Amino acid sequence: MDLSAADLLDRLVGFPSVVGTPNGDLMDFVSGYLSAHDVPHTRLQGPEGDRSNLFATIGDAARPGYILSGHVDVVPAKEPEWHGDPFVMRRKEGRMIGRGTCDMKGFVAAVLAAVPELRRMDLTAPIHIALSYDEEAGCRGVPHMLIALPDLCAAPLGCIVGEPTGLVPVLAHKGKAALRLQASGRAGHSSRPDLGHNAIHALLPALEAAVAQASALRAGPQDDRFAPPYSTLQIGTVQGGQAINIIPEAAEAAIEARAIAGVDPKVVLAPVLDALGEDVTADWLSTYPALALAADHPLAALLHRISGSAPLGAVSFGTEAGLFQQAGVPAIICGPGDISRAHRPEEYLTEAELAGAVEMILSLGRALSA
């Protein structure tokens, strides 16, 4: 069952594994592929019951090794600018077009394509494959896999997260926390606001605090590795009300913070929580820490060697790498493609980028071979 990386990517794109939806069909395919190559693996079902993580090992799991980590969920693909079905991969002028090709099923396809050759290598340290779900909703799947990690393998030496970086290793990324606010009011006719309670008005103190905090963060701690070099906060959505002449009985807002390394993203949102009125509740939608790997860490040197590129200081988008680091596993980001193509219509990965990712993974195997 040897398939090329391009053929594997075609198959993976064909599974519409949109974030927050079941991924059983995709994981069945991956499981079958790994079984055909005698690669031991474990499906780790999440608490949602309809989606799972997968962890596989090539080599001796009792030895410390390296994790290749990627997510199998994708963002929705409802933009009208798609020139074809986003879940049917198209090839055009060296590009492989489809939802998830770049973010980040391309890396997953490269990992799977390397499996047969990795199996033939005499690895002195194992290579693990960690596939997770719902990364696009704030890395919701990975924490459940990390809990199980001590039972799956010896403490890993490092983790490579294959998000699109142009195959340039990246040492750091911002952390993120997302908060949902819900306000309750009392409906009524707008001519008698004294008889009702406006839920949108109830949200305003917290929203005003969010705007003020967003402005204040510009003068806060700075880290020039990031763009922008400071932590950020934004109100992403606000919903509420039925009509202009009805007092809103419910309103909701979603707010996110992205924090530079060394800053807790939940702390960035503290002024918003402090401003909540008695009719407003808050719950965390997601949270993950920043990543900060030292430039002189052995993992950085290893990635320089196998990728052929010197590590880059930081990116502003987030990944599960911070969660691996928090769990005691050194982590770095390095994968094919360009993040500017992610979450956009006509998303694509080039054939050369995919081939480069396969070669990097095989280089890792050769570096770990006797």
- Asked about 135 being catalytic, the answer comes back as yes
| Residues paired with residue 176 on neighbouring β-strands, in sequence order | 258, 288
For residues 286 and 278, the answer to whether their CB atoms sit within 8 Å is: no
CA-wise closest residue to 185 among 283, 275, 280, 282? 280
Q: Which of 73, 320, 346, 353 is catalytic?
A: 73
CA-wise closest residue to 228 among 182, 174, 183, 278? 174
User: What is the rounded distance in angstroms from the CA atom of residue 201 to the CA atom of residue 247?
Assistant: 10
3 state SS for 150-218: HHHCCCCCEEEECCCECCCCECEECEEEEEEEEEECECCECCCHHHCECHHHHHHHHHHHHHHHHHHHH
Q: Which residues contact 241 (CB under 8 A, 6 or more apart)?
A: 199, 200, 248, 251
User: What is the rounded distance in angstroms from the CA atom of residue 56 to the CA atom of residue 132?
Assistant: 12
Q: Which of 10, 134, 135, 249 is catalytic?
A: 135
Catalytic site residues? 73, 135
